[in-house]
Amino acid sequence: MALNAELIERVRNIKLAIFDVDGVLTDGSLHYGPDGEESKVFNTLDGHGLKMLRESGVELAIISGRESKALERRAKDLHIAQLFMGVENKLGMYEKLLKSLSLTPAQSAGLGDDVIDLPFLVRCGFAACVPSAPVYVKQHVHYVTIAQGGFGAVREFCDLVMQTQGTWDAAMKKYLD
Protein backbone atom coordinates (compact mmCIF):
# COMPACT_ATOMS: atom_id res chain seq x y z
CA MET A 1 0.00 0.00 0.00
CA ALA A 2 1.53 3.30 -1.06
CA LEU A 3 1.26 6.28 1.24
CA ASN A 4 -0.68 9.27 0.01
CA ALA A 5 0.23 12.86 0.93
CA GLU A 6 -1.98 12.80 4.05
CA LEU A 7 -0.37 9.61 5.37
CA ILE A 8 3.12 10.90 4.61
CA GLU A 9 2.37 13.95 6.75
CA ARG A 10 0.99 11.74 9.54
CA VAL A 11 4.15 9.57 9.56
CA ARG A 12 6.46 12.59 9.51
CA ASN A 13 4.94 13.75 12.82
CA ILE A 14 5.63 10.46 14.66
CA LYS A 15 7.76 10.70 17.81
CA LEU A 16 6.45 7.54 19.53
CA ALA A 17 5.81 4.08 18.08
CA ILE A 18 3.75 1.61 20.10
CA PHE A 19 3.71 -2.12 19.44
CA ASP A 20 1.50 -4.97 20.54
CA VAL A 21 3.27 -8.30 21.06
CA ASP A 22 1.35 -11.50 20.27
CA GLY A 23 0.58 -11.45 16.55
CA VAL A 24 2.83 -8.42 15.94
CA LEU A 25 6.28 -8.96 17.48
CA THR A 26 5.53 -12.71 17.35
CA ASP A 27 3.42 -14.85 15.03
CA GLY A 28 0.74 -15.03 17.70
CA SER A 29 1.44 -18.63 18.71
CA LEU A 30 1.68 -19.47 22.40
CA HIS A 31 4.28 -22.10 23.30
CA TYR A 32 4.17 -23.83 26.69
CA GLY A 33 6.87 -26.11 28.05
CA PRO A 34 6.20 -29.27 30.09
CA ASP A 35 6.16 -27.27 33.33
CA GLY A 36 3.83 -24.60 31.92
CA GLU A 37 6.56 -22.09 31.18
CA GLU A 38 5.81 -19.85 28.21
CA SER A 39 8.26 -19.11 25.42
CA LYS A 40 8.02 -16.72 22.49
CA VAL A 41 9.83 -16.52 19.18
CA PHE A 42 10.96 -13.07 18.06
CA ASN A 43 12.25 -12.07 14.62
CA THR A 44 15.80 -10.66 14.53
CA LEU A 45 15.01 -8.44 11.52
CA ASP A 46 12.17 -6.89 13.51
CA GLY A 47 14.54 -6.38 16.42
CA HIS A 48 17.11 -4.58 14.32
CA GLY A 49 14.38 -2.43 12.80
CA LEU A 50 13.31 -1.41 16.30
CA LYS A 51 16.91 -0.58 17.19
CA MET A 52 17.34 1.59 14.08
CA LEU A 53 14.00 3.34 14.64
CA ARG A 54 14.94 4.12 18.25
CA GLU A 55 18.34 5.42 17.13
CA SER A 56 16.59 7.63 14.57
CA GLY A 57 14.91 9.49 17.43
CA VAL A 58 11.53 7.76 17.70
CA GLU A 59 10.61 6.60 21.22
CA LEU A 60 9.48 2.97 21.38
CA ALA A 61 6.84 1.40 23.60
CA ILE A 62 5.36 -2.06 23.96
CA ILE A 63 1.89 -2.55 25.40
CA SER A 64 0.89 -6.18 25.90
CA GLY A 65 -2.17 -7.75 27.44
CA ARG A 66 -0.03 -10.65 28.66
CA GLU A 67 2.80 -10.95 31.16
CA SER A 68 5.90 -12.65 29.77
CA LYS A 69 9.46 -13.17 30.98
CA ALA A 70 10.50 -13.71 27.36
CA LEU A 71 9.06 -10.32 26.40
CA GLU A 72 10.73 -8.68 29.37
CA ARG A 73 14.07 -10.10 28.20
CA ARG A 74 13.48 -9.04 24.57
CA ALA A 75 12.61 -5.48 25.56
CA LYS A 76 15.73 -5.32 27.73
CA ASP A 77 17.90 -6.63 24.89
CA LEU A 78 16.46 -3.96 22.57
CA HIS A 79 16.74 -1.15 25.17
CA ILE A 80 12.99 -0.50 25.10
CA ALA A 81 12.29 1.22 28.40
CA GLN A 82 8.57 1.75 27.83
CA LEU A 83 7.36 -1.82 28.44
CA PHE A 84 3.87 -2.39 29.81
CA MET A 85 2.70 -5.98 30.35
CA GLY A 86 -0.54 -7.42 31.65
CA VAL A 87 -2.44 -4.37 30.45
CA GLU A 88 -6.19 -4.90 30.19
CA ASN A 89 -6.95 -1.25 29.39
CA LYS A 90 -4.61 -0.36 26.55
CA LEU A 91 -6.33 2.99 26.03
CA GLY A 92 -5.65 4.05 29.60
CA MET A 93 -2.00 3.02 29.29
CA TYR A 94 -1.73 4.82 25.95
CA GLU A 95 -3.09 8.03 27.49
CA LYS A 96 -0.71 7.78 30.48
CA LEU A 97 2.21 7.15 28.13
CA LEU A 98 1.42 10.19 25.99
CA LYS A 99 1.08 12.35 29.08
CA SER A 100 4.36 11.12 30.57
CA LEU A 101 6.20 11.88 27.31
CA SER A 102 4.35 15.19 26.72
CA LEU A 103 3.16 14.03 23.31
CA THR A 104 -0.11 14.39 21.42
CA PRO A 105 -1.98 11.52 19.77
CA ALA A 106 -0.91 12.91 16.38
CA GLN A 107 2.72 12.27 17.38
CA SER A 108 2.07 8.59 18.06
CA ALA A 109 1.95 5.54 15.81
CA GLY A 110 0.80 2.05 16.61
CA LEU A 111 1.05 -1.45 15.18
CA GLY A 112 -1.50 -4.00 16.39
CA ASP A 113 -3.44 -7.04 15.28
CA ASP A 114 -6.73 -7.40 17.14
CA VAL A 115 -9.68 -5.57 18.69
CA ILE A 116 -7.88 -5.10 22.03
CA ASP A 117 -5.53 -2.73 20.17
CA LEU A 118 -8.28 -0.64 18.53
CA PRO A 119 -8.88 1.76 21.46
CA PHE A 120 -5.36 3.18 21.08
CA LEU A 121 -4.90 2.55 17.35
CA VAL A 122 -7.88 4.71 16.38
CA ARG A 123 -6.36 7.59 18.35
CA CYS A 124 -2.83 7.35 16.89
CA GLY A 125 -1.69 9.77 14.25
CA PHE A 126 -0.63 6.74 12.20
CA ALA A 127 -2.11 3.30 12.85
CA ALA A 128 -1.16 0.03 11.21
CA CYS A 129 -1.99 -3.64 11.54
CA VAL A 130 -0.71 -6.95 10.24
CA PRO A 131 -2.47 -8.75 7.35
CA SER A 132 -3.83 -11.50 9.62
CA ALA A 133 -5.81 -8.92 11.62
CA PRO A 134 -9.59 -9.28 11.42
CA VAL A 135 -11.24 -7.20 8.70
CA TYR A 136 -12.88 -4.91 11.28
CA VAL A 137 -9.41 -3.98 12.59
CA LYS A 138 -8.13 -3.34 9.06
CA GLN A 139 -11.07 -0.96 8.51
CA HIS A 140 -9.80 1.32 11.29
CA VAL A 141 -6.11 1.66 10.45
CA HIS A 142 -4.17 3.71 7.91
CA TYR A 143 -1.84 0.92 6.76
CA VAL A 144 -1.77 -2.87 6.59
CA THR A 145 1.72 -4.38 6.46
CA ILE A 146 2.64 -6.83 3.74
CA ALA A 147 4.65 -9.00 6.14
CA GLN A 148 2.94 -11.05 8.82
CA GLY A 149 3.42 -10.56 12.56
CA GLY A 150 6.60 -12.27 13.72
CA PHE A 151 7.86 -12.42 10.14
CA GLY A 152 8.97 -8.87 9.40
CA ALA A 153 5.86 -6.73 9.96
CA VAL A 154 7.62 -4.69 12.64
CA ARG A 155 10.67 -4.19 10.41
CA GLU A 156 8.42 -3.08 7.54
CA PHE A 157 6.72 -0.59 9.84
CA CYS A 158 10.06 0.73 11.20
CA ASP A 159 11.56 1.05 7.71
CA LEU A 160 8.46 2.86 6.49
CA VAL A 161 8.66 5.40 9.31
CA MET A 162 12.40 6.00 8.82
CA GLN A 163 12.07 6.32 5.03
CA THR A 164 9.15 8.74 5.36
CA GLN A 165 10.88 10.80 8.06
CA GLY A 166 14.09 11.00 6.04
CA THR A 167 16.25 9.12 8.56
CA TRP A 168 16.68 5.94 6.51
CA ASP A 169 19.78 7.06 4.58
CA ALA A 170 21.61 8.03 7.79
CA ALA A 171 20.72 4.67 9.34
CA MET A 172 22.06 2.83 6.28
CA LYS A 173 25.22 4.93 5.98
CA LYS A 174 27.03 3.14 8.80
CA TYR A 175 26.45 -0.20 7.07
CA LEU A 176 27.55 0.98 3.63
CA ASP A 177 30.68 2.97 4.48
pLDDT given at position 2: 66
Pairing of strands 16-19, 126-129: unpaired
pLDDT given at position 1: 53
pLDDT given at position 31: 85
pLDDT given at position 13: 95
Backbone φ and ψ of 18, nearest 5°: -115, 135
Q: Enumerate residue ranges in the chain where pLDDT < 50.
A: none
All domains in the chain, ordered by first residue: 9-172 (3.40.50.1000)
Task: Choose among 55, 81, 84, 82: nearest CA to 67.
Answer: 84
pLDDT given at position 39: 84
